[in-house]
Structure 1
Amino acid sequence: MLKGIDPVISPELLKILSEMGHGDEILLADGNYPAQGAVKNMSLVTRADGVGIPKLLNAIMKLFPLDTFLDYNVVLMLPEKGVPQIWEEYEKILNDSGEIVKIKKVPRFAFYDLASKSYAVVASGERALYANIILRKGVI
């Protein structure tokens, strides 16, 4: 156990976050996302079963700097219609993090393409639809 680390951050996830370099991306995948096939290196898929993405995002943002050098540092998957309610939670968590947040919203298949290049995937237990989110790591 460590002080100040939220218990939703597993030792494996903490290791992944620490190993990521500037520009690397991590996908927080909802429970419906095909996480095992999302990245090329299967060893970088970690499980967070039973944990919703807002809890994970809140814990991660206490440790994770966002990249400010590109047009975006957060990517969301656009549904075919409407706006997912969970995005309101994400925006609050991200804005409360103190980071400069630049959100890009892309259609499903463009999201899959971006996600396939992620350094790692966290397969969560999130049940909300279109709850997937990609974070791009910055520098401290």
Structure 2
Amino acid sequence: MLLSQLIHPEITAVLAASGHHSTILIADGNYPALNKRGPNAKLISMNLTPGVITCDQALRAILSAVPIEAAMTMETEASGPYALDGDPPVWNDYRKSLREAGSQVELKPLEKWAFYEHVITPDHVLTIQTADQQRYANLLLVVGVRMDEAV
């Protein structure tokens, strides 16, 4: 029986085969996951019904399984129908989850098209498509290095 919070067999298999600098996209329910992914990325749909599961729930499971060295979000728009005043509330959830996991990683917002460019690389190994309905909930994680204490 696995000890981490992550027990999904396909996600676990992809993470076990990934390495340093591999990227993992936790996509919200509006992300075009079928056509905006890297050529090596496995797409796993975890979108049962609106809001189940959320991106933050997926993040917490991933953080229990692998080290993360970077986390990028899609920058909010300043005008138009999707504009927000300040950070989306979900980003505070991510910051809290990262801190609770002992991570010092800071969220790095990327312009929308730059975010897509970061996703569609050969390093992208996994997309977890959630049913999160929050705006700007997409999160691109970079796998870090396991830093065990010397014995």
Residue aligning to 1:74: 71
What is the CA distance between 1:95 and its match in structure 2? 1.3
AA of the residue aligned to 1:28: I
AA of the residue aligned to 2:20: H
What is the CA distance between 1:42 and its match in structure 2? 6.8
Question: Could you give the per-residue CA deviations for residues 58-105 of structure 1, whole angstroms, max 9, x where no partner exists?
Answer: 1111111023xxxxx110101103321100000000111112313211
List runs of 5+ in structure 2 lacking aligned partners: 79-84, 147-151
1: distance between equivalents of 2:100 and 2:88?
A: 20
1: distance between equivalents of 2:27 and 2:119?
A: 9
Number of aligned residue pairs:
133
Whether the aligned pair in 2 keeps the contact of 1:38 and 1:121 (CA below 8 Å) is no
Does 2:128 correspond to 1:122?
A: yes
TM-score between the two structures when normalised by the length of structure 1: 0.87
1: distance between equivalents of 2:75 and 2:119?
A: 14
Following TM superposition, where does structure 1 have runs of at least 4 consecutive aligned residues deviating by more than 2 angstroms? 2-7, 40-43
Residue 92 of structure 1 aligns to a residue whose secondary structure is helix
AA of the residue aligned to 2:22: D
2: distance between equivalents of 1:111 and 1:43?
A: 16
1:39 is aligned, of 37, 40, 51, to 37
What is the CA distance between 1:127 and its match in structure 2? 0.8
What is the CA distance between 1:6 and its match in structure 2? 3.0
Residue aligning to 1:138: 144
Residue aligning to 1:92: 96
Residue 35 of structure 1 aligns to a residue whose secondary structure is coil
AA of the residue aligned to 1:102: E
Whether the aligned pair in 1 keeps the contact of 2:26 and 2:138 (CA below 8 Å) is yes
List runs of 5+ in structure 1 lacking aligned partners: 68-72
AA of the residue aligned to 1:119: V
Residue aligning to 2:106: 102
* Higher-Rg member (1/2): 2
* RMSD of aligned alpha carbons: 1.6
Does 2:3 correspond to 1:4?
A: yes
What is the CA distance between 1:47 and its match in structure 2? 1.2
1:17 is aligned, of 11, 15, 18, to 15
